[in-house]
């Protein structure tokens, strides 16, 4: 931790009494380095990055947190604001730098940095600009923490997770996009709101929003259950009429709810903060839980035509993606998934990832 310089010489003799307040006991061994020292680096100290950092801290997920951003003053301000909470948090080393060396030895690197869409800008152009940014971010991250897991949050997340995979040279199980993990939370919230149940009881233990994070996401209605009761077959048995359009409206509402928040408060932060912290916990604590996150989907569900990342129900643990759940999809759902893959592949083919 960078020592505050103005106090490091406290008076003429300094106040260097670090070792004076505590006496070691007889024949003590020197402090043994703890084997379990968890370090997370967050790249991007904007609203999203800071919400993620703060939630991770509050949930006591790490021993060390490193922040990186291109703006040194903003970065230092955010670091100090977190450090000032020291008396209220477990002892966590919090430091920040514009230099990536500070991320060395991370177990998990979370990338939130990204250009925002300029009004009228094409999606491809936005991706191209973010590709240029990722070329500055991903290679040093990979170099300083060659064994870490990369978690990409920046949008468009599926394409950028592919980019991160290519630029890092990591095996695909260690490169994950936050994908539809949050969409699924919003979906559960909407359903729970109507069914008057706890959102966590709206089981989507397999997944229900998959595919591309965004407009063409796929809601796996066939997999959703409430309290263990599959929703669709329940409705059919009860002969409760519903129309596919109705379900599609709910899915659209999930997609639009992100835009709604952005229109109202200018950006989203809290929900993605919780979502990313939730993923961090499953990964670093080896929880082996299943999350809908953006993973290498090539070869699954008939997805071919090239390497593509999109959200599928993936089991996450300390080694990253352990596997993808073998969900049974309806023909229609599988087709939607392949359409999502085709859309993403088309965009990717127009990118210039020169190093590969």
- Return d(Cα 88, Cα 71) in angstroms, integer: 27
- Least Å distance between CB 47 and a copy of itself? 10
Task: Report the nearest approach of a copy of itself to the CB of residue 227 (Å).
Answer: 6
**Would you give the DSSP letter of residue 167?**
H
Sheet holding 229-230, edge to edge: 202-203, 225-226, 229-230
Strand partners, 152: 111, 177
For residue 93, what are its two tokens?
């080393």
199 versus 334: smaller Cβ distance to a copy of itself: 199
User: Concatenated DSSP letters for 299-338?
Assistant: TSTT--SS--EEEEEEEEETTEEEEE--PPPPHHHHHHHH
Residue identified by tokens 């023909």 is 331
Instruction: Please name the residues in contact with 266: beta carbons below 8 A apart, sequence gap of 6 or more.
Output: none
Identified catalytic residue from 37, 213, 291, 356: 213
Q: Which residues are annotated as a binding site?
A: 44-49, 69, 130, 153-155
Q: Which is nearer to a copy of itself, 273 or 344 (CB)?
A: 273
Give the integer Cα–Cα distance in Å for 200 and 26. 52
Distance, in Å, from the CA atom of 297 to the CA atom of 304, rounded to the nearest integer, reads 9
Q: In the chain, where does DSSP find H-type helix? A: 47-58, 72-83, 123-144, 157-168, 181-195, 231-237, 244-265, 270-284, 331-349
Smallest distance from a copy of itself to CB 220, Å: 15
Cβ-based nearer residue to a copy of itself, 101 or 198: 198
CB nearer to a copy of itself: give 141 or 214.
214
Spatial distance between the Cα atoms of 109 and 66, rounded to a whole number of angstroms: 9
CB of 164 to a copy of itself, least distance (A): 24
Q: Are 184 and 208 in contact (CB under 8 A)?
A: yes
C-alpha to C-alpha distance for 171 and 165, rounded to whole angstroms:
8
Kindly state the smallest distance separating residue 287's Cβ from a copy of itself, in Å: 13
Beta bridge partners of 226: 202, 229
Token pair recorded at residue 70: 């291109």
Taking the least distance from each CB to a copy of itself, the nearer of 32 and 263 is 263
| Closest approach of a copy of itself to the CB of residue 155, in Å | 16
**Residue 68: closest CA among 111, 130, 108:** 111
Which residues are documented as binding site for NAD(+)? 44-49, 69, 130, 153-155
Q: Do 105 and 39 contact (CB within 8 A), yes or no?
A: yes
For the question of residue 291 being annotated catalytic, the response is no
The rounded Cα 264 to chain-centroid distance in angstroms is 23
Nearer to a copy of itself, 128 or 287 (CB): 287
Residue among 17 and 26 whose Cβ is closer to a copy of itself? 17
Question: Smallest distance from the beta carbon of 191 to a copy of itself, in angstroms?
Answer: 9
Q: Which of 152, 219, 216 is nearest to 347 (CA)?
A: 216
* Residues tagged active-site: 213
């Amino acid at each position: 931790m960078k020592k505050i310089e103005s106090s490091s010489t406290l008076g003429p003799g300094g106040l260097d009494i670090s070792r004076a307040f505590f006496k070691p006991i007889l024949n003590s061994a020197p402090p043994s380095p703890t084997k379990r020292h968890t370090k997370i680096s967050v790249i991007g100290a904007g609203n999203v990055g800071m919400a993620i950092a703060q939630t991770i801290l509050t949930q006591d997920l790490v021993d060390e947190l490193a922040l990186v951003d291109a703006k040194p003053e903003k970065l230092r301000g955010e670091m100090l604001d977190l450090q000032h909470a020291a008396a209220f948090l477990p002892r966590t080393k919090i430091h920040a730098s514009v230099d990536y060396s500070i991320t060395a030895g991370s177990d998990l690197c979370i990338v939130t940095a990204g250009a925002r869409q300029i009004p009228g800008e094409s999606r491809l152009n936005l991706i191209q600009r973010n590709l240029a940014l990722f070329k500055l971010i991903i290679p040093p991250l990979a170099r300083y923490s060659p064994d870490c897991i990369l978690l990409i949050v920046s949008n468009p997340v599926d394409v950028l997770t592919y980019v991160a995979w290519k630029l890092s040279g990591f095996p695909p199980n260690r490169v994950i996009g936050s994908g539809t993990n949050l969409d699924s939370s919003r979906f559960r919230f909407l359903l729970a709101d109507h069914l008057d149940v706890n959102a966590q009881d709206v089981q989507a233990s397999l997944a229900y929003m998959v595919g591309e994070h965004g407009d063409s996401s796929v809601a796996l209605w066939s997999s959703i259950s409430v309290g263990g009761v599959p929703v669709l077959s329940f409705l059919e048995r009860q002969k409760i009429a519903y129309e596919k359009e109705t379900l599609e409206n709910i899915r659209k509402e999930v997609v639009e709810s992100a835009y709604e928040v952005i229109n109202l408060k200018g950006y989203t932060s809290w929900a993605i903060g919780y979502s990313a912290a939730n993923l961090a916990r499953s990964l670093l604590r080896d929880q082996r839980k299943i999350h809908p996150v953006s993973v290498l989907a090539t070869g699954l569900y008939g997805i071919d035509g090239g390497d593509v990342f999109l959200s599928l129900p993936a089991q996450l643990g300390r080694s990253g993606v352990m596997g993808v759940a073998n969900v049974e999809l309806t023909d229609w759902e599988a087709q939607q998934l392949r359409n999502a893959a085709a859309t993403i592949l088309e965009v990717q083919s127009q990118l210039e990832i020169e190093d590969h």
